[in-house]
Amino acid sequence: MKRFFKQSKADIAFDIVNYSILAVLLVIFVIPLWFVLIASISSPEALYQGKVLLLPKGITFSGYARILQQEEIWLGYRNSVFYTIAGTLISLFFTFSAAYPLSRKDFKARNIIMGFYLVTMFFNGGIIATYLLVKSLGMLDTVWALFLPTAVSVYNIIVTRTFFQNSIPHDLFEAASLDGATNMTYITKVVLPLSKPIIAVMALFYGVGKWNEFFNALLYIQDRAKMPLQIFLREFLLQSQMSADMVGVDARWAAEQQQTAEVIKYGIIVVASLPVLIMYPFVQKHFVKGIMIGSVKG
Amino acid sequence: MKMKDKNSSLTDWKKNIKKNYELYLLSIPTIILVLIFAYFPMYGIQLAFKDFVAIDGITGSPWVGFEHFERLFRGYNFVRIIKNTLTLSIYTLAVGFPLPLIFAIMLNEVKLHRFKKTLQMVSYAPNFISTVVLVSMITIFFNPNNGIINKLIVMCGGEEISFMTEPKLFKHLYVWSGVWQTLGWNAIIYMSALSGVDPQLYEAAVMDGANKLQKIWVVDIPCILPTAVILLILNCGSIMNVGFDKAFLMQNDLNREASDIISTYVYRVGIQGAEYSFSTAVSLFNSVINFILLITVNTVAKKVTDNGLW
């Protein structure tokens, strides 16, 4: 309190303005997410009449009950879980096997290979040429079209390499090789155990990316049985392709059906974002760490 | 003399490969992957100057010169998609570049630890929502019949507005929903730059009688300027690369005159319409502009601030 009085008038004014703006921002960030959540458990009529604003009205889980019965949502869910896990593992393999050698000063080809990767950050063949390639490789409608073309991001390779350079001193390798360790034993016994933080960061970056992936599936997957959740979400949420049995054939009027459909939409948003949002508070720190590593130049 | 140099560097290489053969082996899978999926498609760029015939493949198709480019420049769509692309990207840059910087500086002044942590955590969350979900939220909230925004407008005595189908409103919805989604996340990099500021600089500023605003001006801003310049260059370099997903998902027949951008146009004509050659020409044109922009901005930035990508 004492310190507060010492502040000049200008500083107090600054603090008041600063805190007020930030408080408003806090509300703006939270409200849309909060509203989706409360709308998904409110009664369709209350929602339609605009009575749901800050608190849920007429709490009901009927929307979720209908979502549970919707097979395509769960089909998409299963596919997306599989694509996310398998795709992340594949991406991690390519990213780490590329990044580690690049971090070693005594790896003579490092600059050539780095240049080879960097070029692809600025030049590419465009979607048509990539699409024709995937098509001619016979990968259309296969999981490989989702896994391989976007398996590595050069940016992530750079971040991982920077981590290796900064947190695993080269002396460690020299000491190990004096003890007769080969590169392979050094990598498995020393490097991998020390890389847990960066593995976590990369798994999260790739994982969220794969879960939210939309474009590649739109481009390469035609078979409904293989479509990821995001494609089904688009149909349900944006193209409003909800079957009559989903909103309920017992609905007496079209208006009632429409009201139920609204609540279901909010529910679907919650269900679709759940995996990421549940994990989010626990892994948030790692993400921030990833950005920090990436921002270190060199 | 020269021959000898060559020989000795060759033996250097041989030695290095022998000693670190595991590192070379380890690099091979990703090199092959990048070769196939990043370099090989570049070979397909020649399609822009050819007429693609499926049976003949990329190599066998006949050359047509600049025919596709002429068609692009003459087409009634050309001005529209360029204008829309530039409008969205420049608007996004004008709002999306300074705001995270300001947000980071404001957060940096917060001394209530709890409040700061909460605000940070909440502001990063929207970044993890998928584009499909974000666009769905916009569509549902701004729906003219039963969207919450229109309900509020009516409650306050206004008229319902059909946000999603009004071309004039498209860019605002697009840009400001993007700000909501990325503001906190994009501020992280500035926050980390600010946390590295030497406390002595603040003390010196206080000794000189600086108030908070002046401290921000003389200490914070100069400290994050290098980071900001690098980000600005990168952003300018991709000014014609407006992401496909969001514009495509927000697009409908009624707002197309404002929402049709280069990438959605390429998708519609190229993939859906199967005009492979023409749409390759469109994306090549786009890449060339991007590249010119990147080099120009980097040169200017280097002259003005001594910070550049290379």
Nearest CB among B33, B44, B133 relative to A133 is that of: B44
**Residue A104 covered by a domain:** yes
Among candidates A29, A230, A277 on the partner chain, residue whose Cβ is nearest the Cβ of B123: A29
Are residues B273 and B166 both part of a single domain?
Answer: yes
* CA R_g for chain B: 26
Residue B78 predicted with pLDDT over 80: yes
pLDDT in tens, A127-155: 889 999 999 999 999 999 999 999 999 98
Mean pLDDT of chain B: 88
Number of structural domains in chain B: 2
Residue of B nearest to A104 (CA): B23
Q: What is the CATH classification number for the domain harbouring A211? A: 1.10.3720.10
Residue A246 forms contact with B (CB below 8 Å): no
Judge whether A41 lies within some domain. no
Encode chain A in three state secondary structure: CHHHHHCCHHHHHHHHHHHHHHHHHHHHHHHHHHHHHHHHCCCHHHHHCCCCCCCCCCCCCHHHHHHHHCHHHHHHHHHHHHHHHHHHHHHHHHHHHHHHHHHCCCCCCHHHHHHHHHHHHHCCCHHHHHHHHHHHCCCCCCCHHHHCCCCCCHHHHHHHHHHHHHHCCHHHHHHHHHCCCCHHHHHHHHHHHHCHHHHHHHHHHHHHHHHHCCHHHHHHCCCHHHCCHHHHHHHHHHCCCCCHHHHCCCCCCHHHHHHHHHHHHHHHHHHHHHHHHHHHHHHHHHHHHHHHHHHCCC
Task: Note whether B23 contacts A101, CB cutoff 8 Å.
Answer: yes
Question: What average pLDDT does this structure show over B118-124?
Answer: 90
Please report the ipTM that was assigned to this predicted complex: 0.87
Chains A & B: contacts with CB separation below 8 Å:
252
Minimum-distance CB partner of A230 among B16, B125, B132: B132
Is residue A14 domain-resident?
Answer: no
B63 in a structural domain:
no
Q: Are residues B92 and B32 in the same domain?
A: no
**pLDDT score recorded for residue B310:** 66
Nearest-CB residue to A132 (from B37, B44, B124): B44
Nearest-Cα distance to chain B for A234, in Å, is: 6
| Whether B160 contacts chain A with CB within 8 A | no
Among B9, B17, B26, B310, the strongest candidate for a mutation testing the A interface, having the largest count of A CBs within 10 A, is B26
pLDDT, mean of residues A184-204: 88
Quick check: A129 and B126 CB within 8 A? no
Q: Does residue A101 form part of some domain?
A: yes
From the number of C-beta atoms within 10 Å of its C-beta (0-12, 13-18, 19+), residue A233 rates as buried
- Asked whether residue B114 is domain-assigned, the answer is yes
Structural domain of B1: 1-38
Q: Are residues B140 and B3 in the same domain?
A: no
- Residue B293 in contact with partner chain A when CB distance is under 8 A: no
Who has greater pLDDT, B3 or B44?
B44
Among the listed ranges A50-59, B95-104, B256-265, which one has the minimum average pLDDT value? Answer: A50-59
Question: Is A2 within a domain?
Answer: no
The two tokens of residue B53 are: 């015939």
Amino acid symbol at A218: L
B103 CB neighbours in chain A (<8 A) are 25
Chain B environment of A152 (Cβ under 8 Å):
30, 33-34
Q: Which of A104-108, B201-205, B297-301 shows the lowest mean pLDDT across its residues?
A: B297-301
Range of the domain at A161: 63-298
In angstroms, the CA A250 to CA A260 distance is 11
Q: Is the pLDDT confidence value at A174 over 90?
A: no
Confirm whether B73 is domain-assigned.
no
Interface test with B, best of A108, A128, A276 (most B CBs within 10 A): A128
Higher pLDDT, B169 or A244: B169
Instruction: Examine residue B70 and state whether it is found in any structural domain, yes or no.
Output: no
**Quick one: average pLDDT of B193-211?**
86
Higher pLDDT, B3 or A297: B3
Q: What is the mean pLDDT of residues A248-271?
A: 76
Lowest mean pLDDT among A15-19, A69-73, A222-226: A69-73
Question: Is there a domain that residue A5 lies in?
Answer: no
Residue B308 has pLDDT above 70, yes or no: no
A230 touches chain B (CB under 8 A): yes
pLDDT band at B147 (very low <50, low <70, confident <90, very high): confident
* pLDDT digits 0-9 by tens, A91-122: 999 999 999 999 998 898 999 999 999 888 87
**Within-domain flag for B263:** yes
pLDDT score recorded for residue A282? 76
- Within a domain: residue B266? yes
Query: Domain for residue B154, yes or no?
Result: yes
Dist. CA A270–CA A264, nearest whole Å: 10
Cβ separation of A152 and B141 shorter than 8 Å?
no
Which residues neighbour A267 within 8 Å (Cβ) at sequence distance 6 or greater?
A: A40, A63, A64, A66, A67
Q: What is the pLDDT of residue A145?
A: 95
At B267, list the tokens: 């998708």
Residue A12 belongs to some domain of the structure: no
Tell whether A215 is covered by a domain: yes
Asked if B185 and B285 sit in the same domain, the reply is yes
Number of domains comprising chain A: 1
* Residues B296, B220 contacting (CB under 8 angstroms): no
Would you say B175 and B91 are in contact if contact means Cβ atoms under 8 Å apart? Answer: yes
The percent of residues above 90 in pLDDT, for chain A, comes to 44
Q: What is the pLDDT, as a whole number, of residue A297? A: 45
What value does the mean pLDDT take over residues B276-305? Answer: 85
Q: Identify the residue with better confidence: A284 or B49.
A: B49
**Residue from the list B110, B131, B279 with its beta carbon closest to the beta carbon of A128:** B279
With cut-offs at 50, 70 and 90, classify the pLDDT of residue B231: confident
CATH of the domain at B172: 1.10.3720.10
Three-state DSSP class for residue B197: coil
- Kindly report, residue by residue over A60-73, the tens digit of the pLDDT: 888 888 888 888 89
| B10-51 pLDDT tens trace | 888 898 888 889 999 999 999 999 999 999 999 888 999 998
Name the average pLDDT for chain A.
86
pLDDT score, position B210: 84
Residue at B144 is within a domain: yes
B142 and B279 in a common domain: yes
More confident position, A112 or B76: A112
Are A106 and B20 in contact (CB < 8 Å)? yes
State the alpha helices, DSSP H only, in chain B. 2-19, 21-34, 40-43, 57-60, 67-74, 76-96, 98-108, 113-124, 131-141, 148-155, 167-195, 199-207, 212-215, 221-237, 244-250, 256-259, 262-266, 276-305
How confident is the model at residue A1, as a pLDDT?
A: 42
**What is the mean pLDDT of the segment spanning B142-153?**
84
